[in-house]
Amino acid sequence: MAITKQYLKTKPICKVTFTVPAKEAKKVTVVGDFNNWEGEKSTLKKLKNGTFKGTFDLPKENAFEFKYIIDGDYVNESEADRYQWNDYAGSENAVLEL
C-alpha cells in the first residue's frame, strides 16, 4: 500500500493518491473523516496489474483518520503518517497528515 501527496502551489489543496495492491479483491474503497466514512464516492479504480488506485483533492493543513475497505474488510494503511485509537471502532485508524 502507498500514499503519495502532491501539494498545489496555487490552491490550499493536496492531491492524495491511494494505491492498494489487492489482485484478488473485487472492490476497494477508502473511507475517513474527509468523506464522512462513506465509501460510495471513494471507490478506487482497479488497474490491469491488480492494483487499486484513486486520487482525491483534500484541504491542506489538516489531519484525517481513514481506512480502506477491501471486499468488506476494514484495513489500515501500512505507510500512514501515524495511527489514532478509535473507541467507536475499537481499533486504530490510519491518519493522513497534510
pLDDT tens per residue, range 44-80: 999 999 999 999 999 999 999 999 999 999 999 999 9
Sequence-ordered alpha helix ranges (H) in 14-92: none
Q: Cα–Cα distance between 22 and 30 in angstroms, integer?
A: 13
- How many whole angstroms separate alpha carbon 79 and alpha carbon 24? 21
The model's pLDDT over 75-97, given as tens digits with 9 standing for 90+, comes to: 999 999 999 999 988 899 999 99
Query: Which residue from 45, 61, 55, 52 is spatially nearest to 96, judged by alpha carbons?
Result: 61
How far apart are alpha carbons 48 and 46 in whole angstroms?
A: 7
pLDDT band at 98 (very low <50, low <70, confident <90, very high): very high
| Per-residue confidence (pLDDT) for residue 18, from 0 to 100 | 97
Q: What is the pTM of this model?
A: 0.93
